[in-house]
Every structure is written in structure tokens, then in C-alpha cells.
Structure 1
Amino acid sequence: MAHTSFSRYALWAVIGLLIASCTRDYPSTAPYTPPSNPNDPSVDPAKYPLPAEKRLYISNDKVKLGIDLNMGGAMTYLSEANSSVNMINNYDLGRQLQTSLYAGPYPYSVNGKDPVYNWRNLGWNPVQTGDYYNHPGRIVSYQQTQNQLYVKSVPLIWPLFDEPADCIMEHWMTLKDNTVHVRSRTTVIRRDTTQYEARTQETPCINVNAPWYRLVSYVGMQPFTNAAVSENTNVEATPRYGTENWVAILNAQGRGLGLYKPSEFRFQTNGYPAAKRIGGEFDIESNYMNSSPFLLIDYNGQYEYEYTLILGSLDDIRQFAYSQPRPATVPNYRFTNDRLGWYYYNARDTGWPIQNELAVRWQRFDTTKANFRVSSPLVFWRATDLPKIYIQAAFTTRATQARLVWRRPDDIDFYDIPERYIDFPIIGDGQFRTYEVTLGGQTGWEGVINQICLLNPQNNLEQGSMMRLRSITATRP
């Protein structure tokens, strides 16, 4: 993430012009007819045709990639160069290979429009390709070179009828050998300045056709040792703790598509109705994978992420991941201009931009809920490598202790039990100090640690208390 210097008013002007002037090319043989009541839960988007194709392609001797300018510039075609069979599913505008983001409120209504009933709990959900009713996202600009595509677009709010989202998405897609490297940037310009809780995102979401059904990843505790992978064909949404930072979907012949995301451990796989393993890009049967980190989306923030798609065999996919820099094995969080994947439960900070600290209100946001948490992203640390943690922070509070809680991979969530936390003394006078927390020898600090959080075990209903967090590191700052 990086703070944007764009004018929010200028960006709103861009969106306004797009809304006023954008036209869409629907197939002349099946003109688009809007439903008389878009909020009718029986409305089926399949009744309303997809926009006509308007694809741009780039290719090399290993990969062919296509985006569609009538689908928000999302990736709608991907194949190995020696094949003419498209991997990407395009049944509706919620498929493709794209960015989909989430924030509150729930439900989200705007401009007199309410969300379609089936998706009323998605909240604010800009989808790059378009909406539930097959209206496409608006293209602002695009560029094409021999091995790169760039597209700038205004996504639509998925559950609403033809409603441009109050953000702008940009994507850069670059071919190299058998890979597609993607950089994504979203600039948010919401008028609603409320800070909503973090949600898991789809960064990206990838929908492939039914012949690619083998859901493969490495979820073991010996990453980067060529240990046995995990494979299933489970059609239920399955979270995956991908300890080698990749996940893949393969066909019966063992070839397919891998997703590698640096230092990411939270992935998900899923299948749509999968009774059969045949079908093309416009059939409902498909399978799915994503990277799904928690992200707090500010009303005025800018968010970037990068990933690489690898086409080929499982060995191709895995060896690409092995060739990349390894994820950090101990904490080194310095909050200069970014939350670095940290997020909150039942707590809020002072918002974007981040300026050398996370300024978190050290109290429950909703007093009817249990204690709050300030949580790290998923990680892979060995307890033996981390005998101490150094927390550089300033507390303004009557509390005299803070609590560090950790999770291990088999833990479904944080457990506030003595084997999963340590309390340490703090001074609540608002002055910055470095707190040295000794973990070596602590009961339960063993094996692999995959997440930590901070909370206030005392006086967490106190009004006006703060924690200003500068860093969390394995060595003294």
C-alpha cells in the first residue's frame, strides 16, 4: 500500500464522466433487457447476456493471455501457447481472473439501489469485471505492448444494479517465459468515511473451467523441502495455509495454473457444481482459487498487491515458488507508511495515511462484543527462531499490562488460554518505549507459530486510551 496524492475530487470527476458517457456493446442478437425488479431474489443473471467480446491478446512461446475491454479489462483468456483451450471461466461477470474487494456496511445500499437478496451480506464489493446483472466495469484507459497489458477501470458494485464503485483499479500484466506477473493497484475514493472492519479479500480470484479440478497446495510444516503436497477435489470453500506461498489447480493430465503470491499464506479453493469435469468457458461448472488476506480498506486509501501466474505442471509451479525469495522467518514489522497486513477485530485506528505508526484506539469499539485484537497477517515462524519479540509502542491507558497472543497452525482461531499468551507490563503515560517480551521457555511457545495479536486484558472499556505502535521485530530496534 502507498498513500495516494491523487485528488479525490478529480477522481470523482473521472467516474462521473464515465457514468455519463460510457456505452456498452451487447450482442445485437440478444439485446439487454433490465429486470423490472432488480431486487427480486428470483432474478437469474443468466437471463441477461454477457457483453460482446472485445479482447486484447499478448503471447509468447509459452503463454497466451487475453483481457476483455467489455469485462472491465479482467483476464478472460489464458492458455499454454501450444493449446487453443481457454482455462478461464466466463459464465457471468463474477468469474474471470480479477480483483474483488470487500468492506462495510452490510448490506450496502446507495443511490436508491438495494443489493440483490442473495448477496445482501457482501457489503461494499467492487468487482473488476462487473455486477450480478452482467453490466461490465467501465474502462478508463488501456495500453498494449508486445509482452504487457495495462488497464485502468472503474469496477461495479457486484450486488447492485449497474452501480459504479467509488474506486479505480489498475492492473499491469507482463509475460515472462511460462508466467504472467500481475501488479494491481486500487485507489479508493468513498464518500462514506466510516472505518469498517477488515475483510478477507479476493486478490486475485481465479475461476477456471471444469476440466481443471485438482486443487493442489503444500500445507505442511516443512516448506521448501519438496515434501508431499495436498490434493483434493472438495467443492466446499476450503481455507489453505499455503506454507510455500502458492496454490494450484490442475487437470487430469497434471497440467494447469498456479498462483504464487510473495509472503502470502492465506489461500482458498472451491468448486462450483462439479458433478462433471467437462465444460467450456461459458458453462456454469468451474473451480476456483484465490489469495484471501485480511485487509482494512480506508475510504481514501490506495492498495497494491502483486502475484504471479504459472502455467504448466506441478513441478513447474512449485519450482517457480522455490526460485523466489523466501518469506520472513521472524517478525520485522516497521509501520512507516503501511499496515503491512495487520488488521483489527473490534478496534479502530486513526486511518489513512499511515505515518510512522499504527495509532490504535486501545479499547473495544463495540462494547457488546468481547475484547478487541490487533492482529498480524498469517506467517510461518518457528518458535525456536524467536526467543524474544520487541514491541516499540506508546500506550495511553490506565491499564498496566498488554497481552501478546499467538496461534499455531492447528488452532482454528486465537485461544485466550495460558498456553497461548503472555502478559507483559506497560506504562500508560503516552511515551514511546521498547518492550522486550521473552517467549523462549514459555509454555505453548513451540513448533510453528502462524499468527500473533495484541490486546488489552485490563480496562478494555476505557474511553480515550490509545496504543501507538511503531514496530514489532525480532531484534531490538
Structure 2
Amino acid sequence: MTHILPALLRAGLLLMVFALLSRCQNGVTAVDQTAEPPDIPKTVALPPLPPPTRPFTYETPTESSAWMGTNPNSINGRPIGPVSAAESSILRVEVRRDYGGSIQIYDKVSNQALINFYDMGRESGMASYGGPRSFADDSPRWKNIGYNPLQAGDDGFNPSPILVHGIVNGWIYTKAQCLSWAHQDARRLPFFYEQWVGVDSNKVHVKVRLTHQRPDKTFYNVEEQEWPMMMISGHRKVHFYTGSRPYQNEPTTVSDGIERSIGSMATQQSTPFYLTEPWEGVEIAPDRLIGLYSPGFFRANYNVAALTPSPDNSEGSLTLTYVGNRPMVHLDSDNIWHKDYTYILGSEQDIRQYVYAQPRQMVPDFTFNKAGGRNGWFIQDGGYDQQEPFSSDDWRVMFTGKTENGVTNARGTKLISTTGSWPASQSGTLYIRMAYTGPPGAPAQVPLRLAWLLNGQEPNGFNSQYPDQNRTRFPRGIRGPDDQYVPLVVQNDGQMHTYKLTMTGHPAWKDVVQQFEIAHNYSPAFVAPGEVLTLRYFGTHDPGQ
């Protein structure tokens, strides 16, 4: 898992970034692992996985079953303990009880245990974040990280308890109750992590259901999630694609995650960037990678932990290479999220072949209703909504603004879409069906704007201390404030209207569009709080009147 650094003031916007350092770097020395991972005793014969075309139904065991065996190895002096395993001729996956059900992947071709298990804050999978930021202020070492339920365990080396374990239709199933990472007292949070793990030749498929049942019903600000991520032991190179011709086997970018400067070496900044193909791969041997794919994996990050990379590639290594999907999500108090991701072992071409075969959304198309909720959209800089799951159709957002120097101003509040990879050439016209009610004194027509982000752009600005990585991640530089939007003039009557926006012909409507924003124009200095925006549809299909 990554932890949060102090907020970074950038281009007038307060952003929280995640630093990819070890969760626990207080003098522990890594212990070398055996070169050949031991065979795992099998007390249960795994049936084959269901066919890939079969719908996954999130079936759970009727009762818990025994773990399949015990891994006798130790990591930094800690026994690994009970495990359940599945394997093919290419890899073996191991689900570990005393790490909250976190998984290890053994590559039989390069003879490596790939996932880093230096402490309870590493591993792979999903790490979640919510408010308030003060939640962990009583923790010994992680103040300001906020609410951080974690599958593996906490900063005190306490594992998240496994509530249920079993085998379902060839999948290894676990249900864990997440601990608060920042604390050291096995503090259980009302956040439940169900996981189904299965092996298919060179792939490990993982299905996850996250269930939140938090008594605190406060609407907290959006936070950056790690849904999913993986931490690979050792210092490795990372492959990804950010170009304008996705899904066409164009050359990828390869980065070692290090920013080189005169007289020193520093790990890459924590600023996320945008992919146009939903995967990242980490080199583990010549022409061999472990790839991570997930639907919607378009806002990404990568990094190297430990300033001086170590040659130790064992699963207890201090040094690791991180990649992850970093969506912005409101972690609502009573919600369920269904997620899935896949690890692929093989060449870069093997990874892309699998990714290219998966369904994808080539145009923006969002209906805001009970079934879809926010559709991955979120509120930034002052606002709230009805929280998910929606009890009725439509996304109703109140703009409350931010208070600075005693003045509350809604000028900077905006609605931001999930990230995607949408060729501009396939979306010449956009439709927005919405209602608007302004605060007292607002005119009959209110000028808003629809802005967008292109591939290779940074939306808000970047740290000039990282010129090499800025060029790698953001070859287009920073999005300009005045050259990448179209006007959106809305009726202030509280009624639903469909707004048709012609995008074709705009000089900045090109290549791949990655994100949208509905916000105020840059010109007004003050916007009174109290606006209500109700969205019903956003996309390329005319929803009618």
C-alpha cells in the first residue's frame, strides 16, 4: 500500500498525493528466501475453473473449510503459515491466511516469488481510502492518512482476520474484515473484503467484493484509491501505453521509475498519469513481464520504493516496484463495490493480446440511475450528493464550495468523470441531460463549461523537480485553462433539459479523450454556494427531451 504525503499546493489546487515508500522501514533487514519455492501440501483437490464465458455470480461457500497446507518459509523472521494454492504449468498462486488472504504468485519460468511481502502494507490487491483525514491522528506513525481499511493487516503486523475460507467452483474464496492500516492495535473497520482467486494457464483472475457498513454516515471528500495495485519485489522496469493509437500494438513506454539528477538519485514523484490501454507490466526476466489488467485502469501510477535500489528480489526485499490503478472515489458508508482484475505472465505481446480481447467502451456513455449510481464520477472542491447506492434515479449534487480566508466560494467546485480511453473521432457530438437550480440571485441562464483531458496531458500542473519523468508521463504538458473547453449554458429553472454540444471541429478535440469536467467558467471571482445540479445522462447518444 502507499501512504499519503502532506498535501501539495499545485496550480492553486490542493491535491493529496501518495508516496510509494515502504509502510515499515524502521531498521528491519530482509531475509533471503530459498531459490526454489517449496511445494505446498494439498489436502483439497481443486476442480477446474468455470469456462471464461460463464457469468461470475459471486457464489460463496456454505461453510468454511480447512486451509490446504502450510508454507514453512519465513519472511523477515515471520512464518508465512497456512495457505491455499492453485497452479498451472506456468505459475502457482498462494492465498495466505496470516496476511488477510493476500496472494503470492510464483513464476515457474523465471523461478521467482513475485509479490513483495516486506510488511503488512505491501502485497497486492486493493487498498481503500476515505475521510476524515484526521481519522488516524492517534496513530503512532501515520497521521493525516485518514481512513484506510486494508486487506493484509496493520502497521503493528496484525493480520486482518479471515471470517470465511473455502473453495467455490475452482476459485479460492476468502472473506476478511479489514484493519485500519495506520494503527497498531488490530483495529477492525466495518469494511469487508471478499476475494475469489483462480488460475488459468498464464493468468491469475481475481474477483473482489468490497462491502462497507460504516456507522458514520458523513459525506466525505473524494479520495484516491488503489483499485487494484501490485508490488513486485526488486527494482524493475515498467511498461505502459499512453499514445494516441490504443489497441493497435503501437510501441509502449518503458521506465525504470527513477528520476536522475546531478549528484543524486530520487524515486519518481507520486503524481498519477493517464493510460490509453488499461494495463501496466513489470519486467521480471528478459522478454518476460507480470502484467496487471483491470477494466477502467486508465488513471495509473508506478514507482520504486527505497532510494537505493537493492539487488535482492526476494519477497521480503526492502526494494519494490509498484504499479496501480488510482481512481478517485467517494468511499460511501453503506455501499458495495464489485471489482475484478487479472495478472498475466508472459511477454508484452501476451499481455496486450489478453487486454485487447476484453470488452471496452469506445465512447462516453453514462446514465445516472439506481443501477449505475455516479458511474465513477465524483465531486471535487466542495459539494455532496445522496451517496451510493442511489435510492432513486438521477445524480443530485449540491455545490457547497470551499472556505478560504473566511469566504465560502463555489467557483472551483466541479463534477469530474471517471477516466477512459475514448477516441475523439468517434464522439463528434455529446449530449448532457441535466437540471440546474441556482442560488438566490442567479440569472435565468448560467454559463458553465465542459472541459476535457487529452492523453499525455497533466490536468493541473506538475512538480518541476522531475523533468525526465514529466516528459515520460505527460508528453503534451499541462492542460491550458482557456483552450480546451466548450461553453455549456444551462437553464436555471430546475427542469430537465438536454444540451447538445458539437465537439467536431474544435482544435483541441483530437486523439484520445481521457476525462471530462463540468464546472464554472474561469472568469467569475465568486460563485455563491447552493447550486444544485441533477444529472441524468452524459454521452454520445441523444436521450431526447
Relative to structure 1, is the Cα distance of residues 238 and 318 closer, same or farther in structure 2, using a 3 angstrom cutoff? farther
1:333-412 correspondence runs (5 A):
333-336=366-369, 337=371, 338-346=373-381, 347-354=383-390, 355-366=392-403, 367=408, 371-397=412-438, 398-399=442-443, 400-401=445-446, 402-412=448-458
Give the letter for the 1:263 counterpart: G
TM-aligned CA distance change 1:422 to 1:238, over 3 Å: closer
State the SS of the aligned residue for 2:425: helix
Q: Gaps (5+ residues) in structure 2?
A: 1-22, 30-75, 258-266, 461-478
Q: Deviations over 1:271-310 (max 9, x none)?
A: 1125233331112122111111111111111112111111
1:20: which partner in 2?
none
TM-aligned CA deviation for residue 463 of structure 1? 4.2
Residue in 2 that maps onto 1:432: 496
CA distance in 1, matches of 2:317, 2:121: 13
Distance 1:423 1:42 in 2: 49
> Compared with structure 1, are the counterparts of its residues 298 and 145 closer, same or farther at alpha carbon in structure 2 (3 Å cutoff)?
closer
Q: Which residue of the partner structure matches residue 140 of structure 1?
A: 163
Once residues 463 and 85 of structure 1 are traced to their aligned partners in structure 2, the CA distance between those partners, rounded to angstroms, is 56
Write the mapping of 1:243-282 to structure 2, written as runs, cut at 5 A: 243-273=276-306, 275-282=309-316
Using a 3 Å threshold, how does the CA distance of structure 1 residues 418 and 308 change in structure 2: closer, same or farther?
Answer: same
- Check whether the contact 2:276–2:455 (CA below 8 A) recurs between aligned residues: no
The equivalent of 1:17 in structure 2 is none
Within 5 Å, which residues of 2 pair with 1:71-150?
71-75=99-103, 77-82=104-109, 84-109=111-136, 114-117=138-141, 119-144=142-167, 147-150=170-173
How well do the aligned residues superpose, as a CA RMSD in angstroms?
Answer: 2.5
Give me the whole-angstrom Cα distance separating, in 2, the residues matched to 1:441 and 1:314. 36
Counterpart code for 1:255? R
Percent identity (aligned): 27
Which SS does the other structure have where 2:337 is aligned? strand
Q: Residue 242 and residue 150 in structure 1: after superposition, are their counterparts in 2 closer, same or farther (change >3 A)? A: same
Find the counterpart in structure 2 of residue 315 from structure 1: 349
Contact 1:50 1:134 in 2 (8 A): no
The alpha-carbon deviation at position 42 of structure 1 amounts to 11
**Residues 154/51 of structure 1: CA separation in 2 closer, same or farther (3 Å cut):** farther
Moved more, 51-60 or 362-371: 362-371
Unaligned runs of 5+ in 1: 1-40
2:431 aligned partner, one-letter code: Y
Distance 1:217 1:420 in 2: 26
Q: What amino acid sits opposite 1:335 in the alignment? A: F
Check the 8 A contact 1:405/1:416 in 2, yes or no: no
Paired position in structure 2 for 1:294: 328
Q: CA deviation at 1:145?
A: 5.2
- The alignment status of 1:205 with 2:229, answered yes or no, reads yes
For 1:132 and 1:369, locate their aligned partners in 2 and report how far apart those are by CA, in whole Å: 38
Alpha-carbon distance change, 474 to 66 in structure 1, aligned in 2, over 3 angstroms: same
Given the superposition, is the C-alpha separation of residues 359 and 278 from structure 1 closer, same or farther in structure 2, using an over 3 Å criterion?
Answer: same
Q: How far is the alpha carbon of 1:328 from its aligned partner?
A: 2.0
1:184 aligns with 2:184: no
Relative distance call for 1:412 and 1:208 in structure 2 (3 A) is same
Q: Are 1:418 and 2:454 an aligned pair?
A: no
Whichever residue aligns with residue 377 of structure 2, its letter is W
> Which residue is equivalent to 1:11?
none
Find the counterpart in structure 2 of residue 473 from structure 1. Answer: 539
Q: TM-score, normalised by structure 2?
A: 0.74
Displacement of 1:434 in angstroms is 1.1
Residue 267 of structure 1 contacts residue 289 of structure 1 at CA under 8 Å; is this kept in 2?
Answer: yes
Name whichever of 369-378 and 180-189 sits farther off: 369-378
Looking at structure 2, the residues matched to 308 and 318 of structure 1 have their Cα atoms a distance apart, in angstroms, of: 12
Higher mean displacement: 420-429 or 180-189: 420-429
Structure 2 vs 1, CA of residues 391 and 270 (structure 1 numbering), >3 Å: closer, same or farther? same
Query: How big is each residue's C-alpha offset from its partner over 1:418-454, in whole Å with a ceiling of 9 and x where there is no partner?
Result: 3122222211221112111222233433333221111
CA contact (8 A) 2:410 2:527 kept: no
- Code of the residue aligned with 1:344 in structure 2: it is I
Match of 2:16 in 1: none
**SS at the partner of 2:99?**
coil
8 Å CA contact 2:290–2:343 kept in 1: the answer is yes
Which has the larger strand fraction?
2
Q: Do the aligned partners of 1:131 and 1:159 also contact (CA within 8 Å) in 2? A: yes
The 2-side partners of 1:213 and 1:445 are apart by: 36
Give the conservation status (yes or no) of the 8 Å contact 1:359–1:467.
Answer: yes
Once the two structures are superposed, the pairs formed by residues 218-257 of structure 1 within 5 Å of their partners are 218-234=241-257, 235-236=267-268, 237=270, 239-257=272-290
Q: Is 1:165 equivalent to 2:201 in the alignment?
A: no
Contact 1:363 1:460 in 2 (8 A): no
Partner of 1:21: none
Is 2:26 aligned against 1:44?
Answer: yes
